[in-house]
Amino acid sequence: MTKVCIFGAGAVGGYLAAALSNTDAKVSLIARGEHKKVILEKGLTLIKDGASNSFKFFVTENTKDLEIQDYIFISIKAQSIPSIVESLIPIMNKNTTIISAVNGLPWWYFHKANTGTILDEKHIESVDLNGKIWSTINPERSLGCVVYPACEILEPGTIRINQGDRFSLGEPDGTKSERLDKIASLLIKGGLKAPKKKNLRDEIWVKLMGNCSFNPVSALTNKTLDEIGKDPDLINTIKLLMKECRQVGEKIGIKFNVSIEDRIEGAISIIGHKPSTTHDINSGKPLEIDPLIGSIIELGNKLNIQTPNLKKIYLKIKNKAEDLGLYERNQIIEKITE
C-alpha cells in the first residue's frame, strides 16, 4: 500500500486528499487549528459541481505520529516551507518523494535544470532563504507539480472546488520514472487529471506569467480577472509584467507555447474569479509575494535582465501587505529584489 502524507490540508491539499481517498493509498493529513478539529470530528467536506461529500482521514499536527511515507505533498504557502522542513525528517527515508504543490518557482527549480547559467544546482534565495529546504530535504527527492484547480476553504472542514482538476507532474530532469508513474496513476484513479510532462518547467513559467501579473494587480485593486480585463490601464500593466517574466524565463531556456495576448485572454475570460493573493489579503493571510514576483526579480538580477515593472509592483504589494501585517520584512530578500 502506498503511503501518502498531505502536509497542509487547506483547499489544494484537501482536494488532493479527497481524490486519493478513492484509491488504495493510505492517506494521512497534517493540519491544525479549527480546520483539524472539524476534520477529526466530522470529516473533510468537499463541494464540487454542486455535490457535497465527506471524507474521513487520520489527521494530526505532528509528523511523529506517522510512519515513513512514500510520498509527501507539501501544500502550504511556499514561503512557509522553510519553517516545516525539519518536521518532515521523521517521515522520510531515502525513497520518500517530496511533491511541492505550491505557486511560484519551486525550491528545487535549478536541480538538473541544465540551463547553462550560473543558476544551475543553486537554490533561489527569495524562495529558499539560505538554502534551508535544499539542504534539509535534498532536491533528489523532489518531483515537480503544477497546480491548476481553483479552490477555497468556505469554513473549517469544508472545501469548495470552483474549477479545474489538473495537477501536471514531472521529474526535474524530464525523464520517466517509476515514482512518477505511480503517483500519477493514483491521482488519475482518484478522478484527477495528472499528465506526466517532459518539460514541466515550461508549464511552471506559463502559470507564473499569470501569477506575477494578475495576482498582485487583483490584490491591489480587489478586482476580478474579468474586471481587470475591462480596464485598459490595468491590462497594459499586466502586459508589461508578463513581458519581463517571459524575458527572464527565455534566458534560462523556457519555451512559451502561448502568447502574452492569449494568456491574458484566457485569464479575463473567467468570470467573477479573484486570484489566491486577493483571497489571502481579504482573509488576512500572509501573501505569496516572493515566490510569485521576488523570485523572478532575483533571477533577472543574476542574469542581468532589467525588470523595472516587476520591481514596481513588488514594492506596491509588499508595502500593502506590510501595512496589513501580512508580510514579514526580510532584509536579505529586500536586497535581492531592490
Domain boundaries, the chain: 3-198, 203-337
Provide mean pLDDT across the span 299-326. 96
| Model pLDDT for residues 58-84, shown as the tens digit of each residue | 999 999 999 999 999 999 999 899 999
Q: Which residue has the higher pLDDT, 261 or 152?
A: 261
Amino acid at 211: N
User: Which are the contacts of 325, defined by CB distance < 8 A and separation ≥ 6?
Assistant: none
Q: Where are the beta strands (DSSP E) in 121-232?
A: 142-147, 150-155, 158-163, 167-170
Find the catalytic residue in 182, 207, 316, 320. Answer: 207
Q: Which CATH class is domain 3-198?
A: alpha beta
Amino acid at 135: S
Provide mean pLDDT across the span 316-324. 94
Provide mean pLDDT across the span 278-303. 94
| Model pLDDT for residues 176-229, shown as the tens digit of each residue | 999 999 999 999 999 999 999 999 999 999 999 999 999 999 999 999 999 999
To 10 degrees, what angle do helices 200-211 and 232-251 make?
Answer: 150
The predicted structure's pLDDT at residue 282: 92
Fold of 203-337: N-(1-d-carboxylethyl)-l-norvaline Dehydrogenase; domain 2 (1.10.1040)
The region of weakest confidence among 19-28, 219-228, 265-274 is: 265-274
For 142, the grid coordinates are: 523532489
The predicted structure's pLDDT at residue 261: 97
Of 306, 288, 200, 315, the residue nearest 243 (C-alpha):
306
The predicted structure's pLDDT at residue 321: 94
Give residue 44's pLDDT band: very low, low, confident or very high (50, 70, 90): very high
Cα–Cα distances (Å) from 326 to 18, 283, 319, in that order, read 30, 10, 10
The predicted structure's pLDDT at residue 331: 67
Q: Is the pLDDT of residue 334 over 80?
A: no
Residue 103's region, left for phi above 0, alpha for psi from -120 to 50, else beta, is beta
Mean pLDDT of the chain: 94
Give residue 50's pLDDT band: very low, low, confident or very high (50, 70, 90): confident
Residue 122 is among the residues annotated as catalytic for this protein: no
Q: Is the pLDDT of residue 336 over 90?
A: no
